[in-house]
Structure 1
Amino acid sequence: MNRRAFLRKPAATIAAPATAVMAPPASGNEPTDGETISRYANTRLPTEPRSTAGIGPYTGPWGQTQAAHLLRRCLFGPTRAEINTAASQTLAQVINGLLTAPVAPAPPVNVSATDTSVPQGQTWVTQAFEQAFEGARRSSLRAWWMGLLLGQSTSLVEKMTLFWHNHFVIELGDINDARYGYHYCTLLRQHALGNIKQLTENVTVAPAMLRYLNGNQSTANAPNENYGRELLELFTVGKGPLIGPGNYTTYTEADVQAAAKVLTGWRDNTTTIAGYYTASRHNTTTKQFSAAFQNATIANLGDQEYKALLNLIFAQQETAEFLCRKLYRWFVYYVIDATTETEVIQPLAQLLIASNYNVEPVLRALLSSEHFYDAVNMGCVIKSPLDFTVGTCRQLQMTFPPASNLVAQYGMWDYLNTITNVQQQLLGDPPNVAGWPAYWQTPQYYEMWINAVTLPRRNQLTDLFISTNGYTRNGANIKINPIDLVLTLPPATAADPNLLIAELANLLLPITLTTNQLTYLNDTLLPGLPDFEWTIEWQQYLAAPTNATRRAAVESKLRSLLRTMMGLAEYHLS
């Protein structure tokens, strides 16, 4: 099997006219942003089986290759030390660690002179809302979240928190209250590895969601259908085949209307930062659901009625299947062919139901499965902007300002948010309620991360970080220090140009490079020079590390090597 085949342009498109196509119009509440799609992007999904492996336990070899694959999908840019540690453990031990939640982080703090509600260095999350401070608080929240990604432990919590953010979408800019946003982030992180049904219950009456999807405006005489529709279409059962205008095999328009009535009466309290129930605003009629829900009815249950609705929804087989498909596309690949549906999705859905919608057994089974470690599923995911940006910082061991300088620290985290934003992924603000299109827009999916806007931005970022100047803000500087990186390698590896290139390639690239590529990288490190020249120069530097000339000699070569490696197509893959 040629694992590099998908890096090449399809022959049919090479001969095609050089015209771009627009993303296909989405349905329901899944608007596109009009992004122009490359003529080389998918025009249809393959139907032939990619893998015949199922969710049976993986029993093949376990080493750096498999450990790196697992951690690339579960963390934002695993470091060399994290990969080596995982490779030295058993698969079960690594999975146990990934499924262990770290201690909850301290809340974000104020670093702005604009927000006078609290001194710098103290948290604003319990202060009264003030529009004049909202911009500073929202920036603080986003920066804090970015800092958690950079400082993540070897746990799935951060990757799953982002998964749930892309699933139960809210937009910080729309809800216009950073305190609500912090409450929402805390809720997702708390339940990241827990019970999906419980998380859905909590999200349903969370103040951020009540405001974002207008649940706080829903009354007995005027039920608002926004949350009821998205609850069915995007959060639980999903769309089945269309059987009529607005009607699907999984739910109908009548079900949306009935759900909206169930959800009436809930409002958000800006003082307690919580959702609360008002009986006088609740629709007390008996709600009738369609045959998709076995013609069930829900009578008036007051503030417990929404839980009865969720019981009904989570009793549907389609809910488990829909959730497992989303998890699969997040961790494995976007193509779910008939074989994958039968051998992976359906067994995972049954496991999810059997575990009463606890996500941990499903994640354990998927990430320990023979399917996950099938070679076809390695190195096939295009990194999201967050994976690309945070992964660059973590894998190349960039040093950020310490907590003793909070203004500089938050400033750098804020800068990274501006960087991922221009790459079309901003923490806290997916483009719409459906989440980032790369996770749902068929048939392009991940290919949408790479376009004429984002690819140059990625290259500009890596060029800046590998430059001698790096990026400076608030008196602090961040950049890649290639010598410091190489000094962490075994001495024999660092002194041998070919071993050095191979070690860096194993860290940064998920696909084995060809002989020609390795030769090209060697020529980049040692243009026109024999291999022993690197050994001599490196040893001379080690003998006199404060000698500016000797340091510059090796540093310039390493910068050229890393710049070239980060410019490879493989660097954009996970």
Structure 2
Amino acid sequence: MRDHSAMRAWPGSTSGIQEYTGTWGTAQVVHLLKRTLFGATVADVNYFSGLSMSQAVDEILTPTAAPTSQPLNNYGTDVTGVAPYTTWIGTGLTYQDQNLNASRVASMQCWWMGQMLGSGRSIHEKITLFWHNHFAMDATQHFMDIPAQLWYNQYLTLRANALGSFAAMVKAITLDPAMLIFLNGSTNVNTSPNENYGRELQELYTEGKGTNSLYTQTDVHNAARVLTGHTVDAGFNYVFQAGNHDDQDKQFSPYYSNHVVTGYSGTVGAGELDDMLGMLLGTDESAKFICRKLYNFFIYYVDDATVEANVIVPLASVFRSSGYNITTVLSTLFKSQHFYDLVYAGACLIKSPLDFLVGLVREFNLALPAASNPQGQYSAWTLLLNQATILQQEVLAIPVVAGWYAYYESPTYHELWINSVTYPQRNYYTDLLMTSGDMMSGTTLVVDPVAFTATLSNPSDPVQLVSDALSILLTVPVSANDQELMMRTILLTNQTNNAYWTQAWQAYTANPSDMNAYSTVFNRLQAFYKYVMDLPEYHLS
């Protein structure tokens, strides 16, 4: 694989967030789609190529409707009486039964995989995943105290706010029952303030811990005091218990301009949270912190002094002036000169496991069971969830509160996705899907190389076929000599005349039921795509 350590010092672009006015071709469209969606399908590349850059970004940032499906009982026996493949949502909070709650969490994880697979032409699911990492939690370690229903509710909360107001999202997550339990907010009372959430609220969610983020331990303590009384009731609903709230004034440090959150008794004490959140988001550092995280996730994992000056600082200004509107800041970023300069600068990201898996399924348009076959759906989702777990990105099971390691561990960042276990496993899995397929309970995930090739612009022309396929599957340009070599040695099996492939493809399309004609093209296409997916460059986005 390419030495990515050298890319930490990539010269990048001295351009900033001014709107891009350059070439809008396949390379730019694929770059936009692979960064904002899960993969770039042939159909999507063709569709967005017919729009302007600005129109494409606007459509990608258009929110989609809330899911119409809910997690189902794919685990069998349910002591509460939920029948197989009917939803357990709204059927009772069964956290006391650890095995049942664990089964429901696993069901929720599978269902979430399904939401990503069906994400279509909107960033909505991918930005929801970003916020899941930002407010990182591990449901698999909380079977005994957090009912699975709460994780489903939290997903809906993240999704509902994912493209709206960041301020509204922070408040919603602060009062989210799963979060209140997870970071001990539910036990935070005036007689014994618990600082856990007050610390993470500043360190991980709003201010960060950079050199210019100078909040103090006193600020952590006072944030905890503001948050006293916010808890959950016996039914796991959010409530504010005024009797447990610290109603004295809270004095914050010079970092927050010595702001005082006035204390109130009674139910109006709950409003202190709004005052404090306004204070947190009123700092210069807060907007920059969120913009850096968005940049690292969607653009590149290094933001040096040039990027800080030309991208992060002006982008943070846009973010703050918009009232912390997430769509506004993403629109500015994805329409920027800087974003498209990355096409030419070679600033690639290693695909996260979820990008790798979901993108693979979507780009090759793998046949997935329909909603009328829920058992098949859950089998497919389970297969992919199992692979994501092996590759170290299991949704709803983020190992630490700072998020998945690849998004914050300096200086390696995304290089952490690749190691002696995960890289061979990635290649093993692409080989498996290109050959016999991955199977469970009668469901098979397998690539159909002939069907994929048929979606390309001119599959009978081997030169065009190779060029089109590589433009979709790889973001790193492949030289004409290398393309020629792939075509000659694989598609033409060392034949010297391009007409060999043209005649083979035409013979197949003239009579698809002719197994000899089908095998001729199938075997060569299978070998070609298997070779491409075994390239290190296939794992770059």
Settle same-fold status: TM greater than 0.5. Answer: yes
Shift of 1:140: 1.5
Could you tell me which residue of structure 2 aligns to residue 27 of structure 1?
A: none
CA distance in 2, matches of 1:383, 1:419: 14
Q: CA deviation at 1:566?
A: 0.3
CA deviation after TM superposition for structure 1 residue 249, in Å: 4.3
Give the match for residue 498 of structure 1.
Answer: 463
**1:23-62 paired onto structure 2 within 5 Å:** 41=5, 45-46=8-9, 49-62=11-24
Match of 2:31 among 69, 73, 79: 69
Residue 355 (structure 1) aligned with residue 322 (structure 2): yes
What does residue range 269-308 of structure 1 map to in structure 2 within 5 Å? 269=233, 271=235, 273-301=236-264, 302-308=269-275
Residues 33-90 of structure 1 show CA distances to partners (whole Å, capped at 9, x for unaligned) of xxxxxxx747x953x7521011001011112211111111100012111011101111
Alignment partner of 1:232 is 2:202 = yes
User: Which stretch shows the higher mean deviation, 532-541 or 504-513?
Assistant: 532-541
- Find out whether 1:80 has 2:42 as its counterpart: yes
Q: How far apart, CA to CA, are the structure 2 residues paired with 1:418 and 1:426?
A: 8
Report what 1:254 is aligned to: 218
More moved, 258-267 vs 457-466: 258-267
Cα drift, residue 120 of structure 1: 2.9
Q: 193-202 or 109-118: which moved more?
A: 109-118
The residue identity in structure 2 corresponding to 1:160 is: I
Q: What letter corresponds to residue 338 of structure 2 in structure 1?
A: H
Among 164, 167, 178, the residue aligned to 1:197: 167
Q: Could you tell me which amino acid in structure 2 is paired with residue 352 of structure 1?
A: F
Q: Residues 114 and 136 of structure 1 are in contact (CA less than 8 Å); yes or no, is this contact kept in structure 2?
A: no
Give the residue type in structure 2 aligned to 1:316: T
Give the conservation status (yes or no) of the 8 Å contact 1:51–1:376.
Answer: no
Instruction: Report if the CA contact (8 A) 1:216-1:266 is conserved.
Output: yes
Check conservation: 2:102, 2:140, Cα contact below 8 A. Answer: no
Could you list the runs of 5+ residues in structure 1 that have no partner in the other structure? 1-6, 10-39, 242-247
Q: Counterparts of 2:100 and 2:49 in 1: how far apart (Å)?
A: 47
Separation in structure 2 between the aligned mates of residue 275 and residue 466 of structure 1, nearest angstrom? 48
Q: Which residue of the partner structure matches residue 64 of structure 2?
A: 102
Using the size of structure 1 for normalisation, the TM-score is 0.89
The aligned amino acid for 2:77 is T
Code of the residue aligned with 2:153 in structure 1: it is H
CA contact (8 A) 1:115 1:136 kept: no
1:408 aligns with 2:371: no
Q: How far, CA to CA, are the matches of 1:181 and 1:249 in structure 2? A: 31
Q: CA deviation at 1:253?
A: 0.9
Deviation at 1:379, TM superposition (A): 5.7
| 1:114 paired to 2:80 | no
Q: Aligned partner of 1:553: which letter?
A: T
Is residue 217 of structure 1 aligned with residue 187 of structure 2?
yes
SS at match of 1:494: coil
Deviates more, 1:506-515 or 1:558-567: 506-515
Instruction: Work out whether 1:521 is the aligned partner of 2:516.
Output: no
- Which of 437, 447, 451 aligns to 2:415? It is 447
1:509 lines up with 2:490 in the alignment: no
Contact (CA 8 Å) 1:250, 1:318: kept in 2 or not? Answer: no
User: In the aligned structure 1, how far is the partner of 2:365 from the partner of 2:290?
Assistant: 35
Contact 1:180–1:208 under 8 Å retained in 2: yes
| CA distance 1:399–1:304, shift in 2 (3 Å) | same
**Residue type matched to 2:259 in 1?**
A
CA contact (8 A) 1:76 1:387 kept: yes
Give the whole-Å Cα distance in 1 for the aligned partners of 2:213 and 2:439.
55
- Identity among equivalent positions (%) equals 39
C-alpha distance in 2 between matches for 1:365 and 1:268: 39
Aligned twin of 1:487: 454
* Misfit runs of 4+, over 6 Å: none
Give CA deviations for 1:405-457 in whole Å, capped at 9, x if unaligned: 10111121021011011001001111110001111111111111111111011
User: What CA distance in whole angstroms lies between the structure 1 residues aligned with 2:456 and 2:291?
Assistant: 39
The total of aligned residue pairs comes to 526
Q: 1:538 to 1:376 in 2, by over 3 A?
A: closer
Q: TM-score w.r.t. structure 2 length?
A: 0.94
Q: 1 CA distance for matches of 2:14 and 2:503?
A: 50
Could you tell me which residue of structure 1 aligns to residue 518 of structure 2?
Answer: 551
